Amino acid sequence: MIVRLCLCDIKEMNEMVATPYKVSMSVQNSAGQLRSIYLTASDVTTAAWVFPSGGTELQLSSLPCIIRDIILSAAGVDTSQVQLYVNGINTGIVIVGGANLGTTYSRQVLTNPIAIPAGAIVKFIQIT
Protein backbone atom coordinates (compact mmCIF):
# COMPACT_ATOMS: atom_id res chain seq x y z
CA MET A 1 0.00 0.00 0.00
CA ILE A 2 1.32 3.44 -0.94
CA VAL A 3 0.28 6.44 1.08
CA ARG A 4 0.61 9.83 -0.55
CA LEU A 5 0.91 13.01 1.43
CA CYS A 6 0.56 16.22 -0.47
CA LEU A 7 2.34 19.41 0.62
CA CYS A 8 -0.97 21.11 1.32
CA ASP A 9 -1.59 18.58 4.13
CA ILE A 10 1.76 19.47 5.71
CA LYS A 11 0.96 23.17 5.55
CA GLU A 12 -2.38 22.64 7.30
CA MET A 13 -0.73 20.66 10.10
CA ASN A 14 1.86 23.38 10.65
CA GLU A 15 -0.83 26.03 10.93
CA MET A 16 -2.31 24.23 13.94
CA VAL A 17 0.70 24.94 16.18
CA ALA A 18 -0.37 26.83 19.30
CA THR A 19 1.26 30.12 20.17
CA PRO A 20 2.76 30.20 23.68
CA TYR A 21 2.08 33.04 26.07
CA LYS A 22 3.53 34.03 29.44
CA VAL A 23 2.05 33.82 32.92
CA SER A 24 3.35 35.63 36.00
CA MET A 25 2.29 34.21 39.36
CA SER A 26 2.93 35.93 42.72
CA VAL A 27 3.16 33.65 45.74
CA GLN A 28 3.53 34.66 49.40
CA ASN A 29 4.30 32.19 52.18
CA SER A 30 3.13 32.48 55.79
CA ALA A 31 6.51 34.00 56.76
CA GLY A 32 5.75 36.94 54.47
CA GLN A 33 8.24 36.07 51.72
CA LEU A 34 6.90 37.06 48.32
CA ARG A 35 8.21 35.70 45.02
CA SER A 36 7.19 35.80 41.39
CA ILE A 37 7.18 32.68 39.26
CA TYR A 38 7.09 32.95 35.48
CA LEU A 39 5.34 30.18 33.58
CA THR A 40 4.70 29.40 29.93
CA ALA A 41 1.29 28.42 28.59
CA SER A 42 -0.01 27.51 25.16
CA ASP A 43 -3.45 27.58 23.65
CA VAL A 44 -4.01 23.80 23.76
CA THR A 45 -6.78 22.05 25.71
CA THR A 46 -5.49 19.66 28.41
CA ALA A 47 -1.98 21.16 28.19
CA ALA A 48 -0.40 22.15 31.51
CA TRP A 49 1.35 25.41 32.26
CA VAL A 50 5.12 24.93 32.33
CA PHE A 51 7.23 26.14 35.27
CA PRO A 52 10.79 27.53 34.85
CA SER A 53 12.20 24.08 35.70
CA GLY A 54 10.54 22.70 32.56
CA GLY A 55 8.11 20.64 34.65
CA THR A 56 4.36 20.99 34.95
CA GLU A 57 4.18 20.62 38.74
CA LEU A 58 5.83 22.66 41.48
CA GLN A 59 5.96 22.71 45.27
CA LEU A 60 5.36 26.40 46.01
CA SER A 61 6.54 26.48 49.65
CA SER A 62 7.24 24.22 52.59
CA LEU A 63 5.06 26.68 54.54
CA PRO A 64 1.38 27.45 53.95
CA CYS A 65 1.12 30.10 51.25
CA ILE A 66 -1.27 32.02 49.04
CA ILE A 67 -1.25 32.67 45.32
CA ARG A 68 -1.70 36.44 45.44
CA ASP A 69 -1.96 37.18 41.74
CA ILE A 70 -1.84 35.57 38.31
CA ILE A 71 -1.21 37.76 35.27
CA LEU A 72 -1.49 36.44 31.72
CA SER A 73 0.20 38.16 28.77
CA ALA A 74 -2.62 36.93 26.50
CA ALA A 75 -5.88 35.05 26.74
CA GLY A 76 -6.18 31.86 24.76
CA VAL A 77 -8.37 31.65 21.70
CA ASP A 78 -9.03 27.91 21.88
CA THR A 79 -8.60 27.76 25.66
CA SER A 80 -9.98 30.39 28.03
CA GLN A 81 -9.97 28.58 31.38
CA VAL A 82 -7.40 26.78 33.52
CA GLN A 83 -8.10 24.30 36.32
CA LEU A 84 -5.96 24.32 39.50
CA TYR A 85 -4.80 20.97 40.87
CA VAL A 86 -3.25 20.66 44.35
CA ASN A 87 -1.46 17.41 45.21
CA GLY A 88 -3.02 15.82 42.12
CA ILE A 89 -6.59 16.69 43.15
CA ASN A 90 -8.81 18.97 41.11
CA THR A 91 -9.68 21.87 43.45
CA GLY A 92 -12.60 23.10 41.35
CA ILE A 93 -10.91 26.51 41.12
CA VAL A 94 -11.05 27.83 37.57
CA ILE A 95 -8.69 30.58 36.44
CA VAL A 96 -10.41 32.56 33.67
CA GLY A 97 -7.93 33.86 31.08
CA GLY A 98 -9.69 37.10 30.20
CA ALA A 99 -10.16 37.99 33.88
CA ASN A 100 -6.42 37.80 34.60
CA LEU A 101 -4.83 39.78 31.77
CA GLY A 102 -2.22 42.37 32.67
CA THR A 103 -4.53 45.05 31.28
CA THR A 104 -7.37 44.05 33.64
CA TYR A 105 -7.45 46.34 36.67
CA SER A 106 -9.34 44.05 39.06
CA ARG A 107 -7.96 40.59 38.27
CA GLN A 108 -9.69 37.42 39.50
CA VAL A 109 -6.86 36.06 41.68
CA LEU A 110 -5.69 39.51 42.83
CA THR A 111 -9.10 40.13 44.39
CA ASN A 112 -9.51 36.50 45.61
CA PRO A 113 -6.13 35.00 46.62
CA ILE A 114 -5.89 31.20 46.64
CA ALA A 115 -4.69 29.44 49.82
CA ILE A 116 -2.26 26.55 49.29
CA PRO A 117 -1.36 24.12 52.11
CA ALA A 118 2.23 23.67 53.31
CA GLY A 119 4.33 21.52 51.00
CA ALA A 120 1.57 21.16 48.40
CA ILE A 121 2.37 20.55 44.74
CA VAL A 122 0.39 22.63 42.26
CA LYS A 123 -0.41 22.13 38.59
CA PHE A 124 -2.49 24.20 36.17
CA ILE A 125 -4.29 22.43 33.29
CA GLN A 126 -6.14 24.23 30.50
CA ILE A 127 -9.69 22.93 30.21
CA THR A 128 -11.50 24.94 27.54
* Residue 99 pLDDT level (bands cut at 50, 70, 90): confident
CA–CA separation, 128 and 120 (whole Å): 25
CA–CA separation, 30 and 99 (whole Å): 26
Our count of domains for the chain comes to: 1
Report if residue 11 sits inside a domain: no
Q: What is the pLDDT of residue 128?
A: 77
Report if residue 4 sits inside a domain: no
Backbone angles phi, psi at 72, to 5 degrees: -100, 140
Residue-number span of the structural domain to which 33 is assigned: 18-126
Report if residue 29 sits inside a domain: yes
Mean pLDDT for the stretch of residues 14-25:
72
pTM of the predicted protein model? 0.80
Please check the confidence at residue 69 and state whether its pLDDT lies above 60: yes
